[in-house]
Structure 1
């Protein structure tokens, strides 16, 4: 009797092992940070600024096209000039020797409606923000609660820094600023001017000089200089960045990342 039971146990064990061997294996969990160079992770690490704790940029967004880097840029404008390409979604800070620091930006309808020259008149740390009267009129539910303004802070849409652009003595209401929606960087969205990671906004604000020339490219100028833009990133719908998951993998080739 015991022999029969032992045989049955063996058959059951063999069957269980066979099913386990044939079952699909769970995909391995890959840490996105493992393929991002340490210096890039440090560049976008969490930091405390003026009493506010800025979170680190999640590694899944730190692809080579999204990180601050130094690039070749043959342009006749003097070093210190800021060139904004809202169509390719980059901002360039011109350096000597046909070089530039390149920042990835997000651009909204306001960002694509402005072109030509301006002056970077001044900047503010953790600026306050108030929606325009038109924004309040068109979207009262969204912007009405902020009609009296919103103090600077982590929930403020202007982020850690804002650079204010003027023409002569006239405010253009065109801003270069940080953002708390890190997933939007590199994308065209429905609202806003030129937005960048807070870490990059702090870097640019510390680098530029007040009164610097700013050149915002038209779509024709962008195409002439860089070609037609084909977005390489997943479209951003404007949802919460905490719910936004990239579907394309983080590149693993360290040579794709440039130092800055």
Structure 2
């Protein structure tokens, strides 16, 4: 069962569906070291989508956060499922008992507000983003994208990015999303708002590999010292 902690109260007060990018915590300085190898080709620009996906800049993302096959650290979870570790900034797509695909992820306040198991109810390409009333009260400039106004169409600038996976539990929307639009400099870090963000190149890849109905397990994690969540 999902451990909600203060999830329901936070949902009512602030609307986790926002998954917003603004107001991030300052990015951490990367440790000095040898020059990194070039980014894999799959982080190049994507021109076959309805909207352009720009290339990821070189020299920003640590190689540990690149999409890569690794040993499966959760062999007791079923193949085909997803495990999210907000504390480490990784999302794992389990391929077999022995192997997994690991994606770097930015974790927002929603990612630290609950843990447990849910399921991917459905997936969307270039999803619509709808600003909750609580956010509009704080930031009136988002009023044109309210639920009543139909939200913001998918495309550049949409906080959900190129893809979104919508997580439900017992038929109820958890308001937790796995989605794109992660700014490369915040990959693997805690940011002040939102759910779990991947690079658009990675969320497109994940979307195409999974199916509706798979299990997603979110590991419990405490936010880093000084972290202030803003929904």
**1:36 and 1:62 in contact (8 A); partners too:** no
Q: Runs of 5+ in structure 1 lacking a partner?
A: 1-33, 221-227, 236-260
1:105 is displaced (CA, Å) by: 0.5
**2:61 and 2:185 in contact (8 A); partners too:** no
Give the aligned partner of residue 15 of structure 2: none
SS state at 2:84 partner:
strand
1:51 is displaced (CA, Å) by: 2.0
* Distance change >3 Å, CA 63–CA 161, structure 1 → 2: same
Give the aligned partner of residue 181 of structure 1: 183
Q: RMSD of the TM alignment (CA)?
A: 2.3
Give the aligned partner of residue 143 of structure 2: 144
Q: Distance in 2 between matches of 1:181 and 1:207?
A: 22
Give the aligned partner of residue 36 of structure 1: 37
TM-score, normalised to structure 1, is: 0.67
* Distance change >3 Å, CA 150–CA 117, structure 1 → 2: same
Bigger-Rg structure (1/2):
1
Residue among 159, 162, 166 paired with 2:161: 159
1:50 is displaced (CA, Å) by: 3.0
Corresponding pairs, count: 189
Q: Distance in 1 between matches of 2:191 and 2:224?
A: 16
1:113 aligned to 2:86?
no
* Distance change >3 Å, CA 180–CA 99, structure 1 → 2: closer
82-91 vs 182-191, which deviates more?
A: 182-191
1:69 aligned to 2:68?
yes
SS state at 1:60 partner:
coil
Q: Distance in 1 between matches of 2:122 and 2:169?
A: 12
1:194 aligned to 2:176?
no
* Distance change >3 Å, CA 36–CA 229, structure 1 → 2: farther
Q: Distance in 2 between matches of 1:153 and 1:182?
A: 18
SS state at 2:140 partner:
helix
Post-superposition CA distance 1:36-88 (Å, at most 9, x none): 24xx4311000124321110000112321220011112320110010011111
* Distance change >3 Å, CA 164–CA 145, structure 1 → 2: same
1:132 aligned to 2:132?
yes
Q: Distance in 2 between matches of 1:72 and 1:131?
A: 39
SS state at 2:65 partner:
coil
1:140 is displaced (CA, Å) by: 2.6
* Distance change >3 Å, CA 154–CA 84, structure 1 → 2: same
SS state at 2:47 partner:
strand
**Higher-helix-fraction structure:** 1
Post-superposition CA distance 1:132-161 (Å, at most 9, x none): 222223x23353343231100011010000
Greater relative CO (CA pairs within 8 A, separation 6+): 2
